[in-house]
Amino acid sequence: MTKAGATAAPAPGRRVWVTRAQPGAAATAERLRALNFDPLVLPLLEVRPVKDSHLDLTGVGALAFTSANGVATFAARSPVRDLPAFAVGAATARAAWGAGFAQVISAEGDVGALALVIHSAGELPGAVLHAAPAEPAGDLAGALAGFGVAARAVTLYETAPADLAEAHLAEAAAADIVLLHSPKAARVLAAYLETHPAPALKALCLSPAVAAPLGGVPLRSVTAAVAPSEPALLALLPGVAAA
């Protein structure tokens, strides 16, 4: 029995390394605590705005966001909130609502699903502007062009490897499970594991594309979610933790 005021040690197999950039990492950590997992928040990536990008809303009739970071960087650059905002999933939609957009439509999927939702919305009063990262997971503007929807992307932010202290890397390597939300994070992890091996670590990935950079990396297991969403990713935890 744990004494009053003492903190119980995490159950074996339930220490989860959260690698995504903030502010998403904090939200993921809260979801892990609700599932009785012990989060270790050590982002492998950090978000940086691309300050020299030209944000021109001339002729734009709607906005498309593929991440909460896209919402945040757009909101910091522009006061416009009256355009329809299309979001790739629930977390991005919540960020758009929180930023003050009056009309938000969520695709609850990936870039392909987002393109289909935008196409299905009918005729828009102008082109769709994608508030994009420097390395997008998919070509949203190209997918929309395939549907005959005018669209363009503007690069508003980039992610770069975070500078982790040696003590933090050693702590992370001792985790039971690592969550990976992007191929770039997986590539950074693979590079770190070259000098900080963690053969007992189990990797859970948002999609097969995220898992791909881990091929050949000495890990206990690598598992991809059945759908590219955090609920699908976290649904893997009980089974993987018990394995």
User: Quick one: tokens of 120?
Assistant: 């299905």
Per-residue pLDDT, 167: 75
In the chain, what is the straight-line distance between the N-terminal and C-terminal CA atoms, in Å? 26
- Confirm if 126 and 60 have CB atoms less than 8 A apart: yes
Give the chain's residues under pLDDT 70.
1-12
The structural domains of the chain, with segments of one domain joined by +, span 15-44+163-242, 48-159
Closest CA to 179 of 69, 66, 88, 43: 43
What confidence score (pLDDT) does residue 138 get? 83
Supply the pLDDT for residue 187: 94
In CATH, what number does 48-159 get? 3.40.50.10090
| pLDDT tens string 166-183 | 778 778 878 999 999 989
Residue 89: its pLDDT value, please? Answer: 87
Q: Same CATH topology for 15-44+163-242 and 48-159?
A: yes
Residue 228: predicted pLDDT = 82
Residue type, 40: L
What is the C-alpha to C-alpha distance for residues 103 and 96, in angstroms, rounded to an integer? Answer: 9
Task: Say what the pLDDT of residue 10 is.
Answer: 53
Beta bridge partners of 210: none
pLDDT of residue 55: 93
Could you identify the residue written with the tokens 């091929």? 215
Provide the pLDDT for residue 173.
Answer: 78
Task: Match domain 15-44+163-242 to its CATH number in 3.40.50.10090, 3.40.50.1460, 3.30.390.50, 3.30.465.10.
Answer: 3.40.50.10090
